[in-house]
Amino acid sequence: MKRTLLLISVLAAFAGFSIAQDDAAYSTAMKSISASNAPLRTAITAKDTSAAAAEAAKMASGFDTLIAYWKAKNADDAIKFATTAHDSAKTIADSKDADAQAAALTTLSGTCGGCHAAHRGGGRGAYTIK
């Protein structure tokens, strides 16, 4: 019995730790996505397809982290936003066509506000995940 209790408290401690870890990973990924956002837009406007591809590849890997996070939470709408964002970023990363990249950027941009409205809490400087 004592052993079971000990095991439960150890598991609980680990669960708490992994949630904190996941939130930190999420925040790091979100900041990196946001850092690529302006350079990506500039590159698309300039029709610099290789610079756009490089920024979009970084974004796609950030969205991988978001997809995993929301899958663990079973939040279907957020999984959908993150997957659409990931796939559009991947399209830009894999394309050498300026028009195709610009079209994918429009789809990508549509995901930011939708997911923030549903899942971003708090305010500027202190955003939270909800």
Helix (H) or strand (E) holding 120: strand 120-123
Closest CB to ligand HEC among residues 9, 23: 23
Residue 74 gets the label, from left (phi > 0), alpha (psi -120 to 50) or beta, of: left
By the rule CB under 6 A, 93 interacts with ligand HEC = no
Task: Name which of 84, 111, 102 is nearest 46 in CA terms.
Answer: 102
By the rule CB under 6 A, 9 interacts with ligand HEC = no
By the rule CB under 6 A, 107 interacts with ligand HEC = no
Residues that bind ligand HEC (CB under 6 A): 26-27, 30-31, 33-34, 37, 66, 78, 81-82, 85, 108, 111-112, 115-116, 119-120, 127, 129
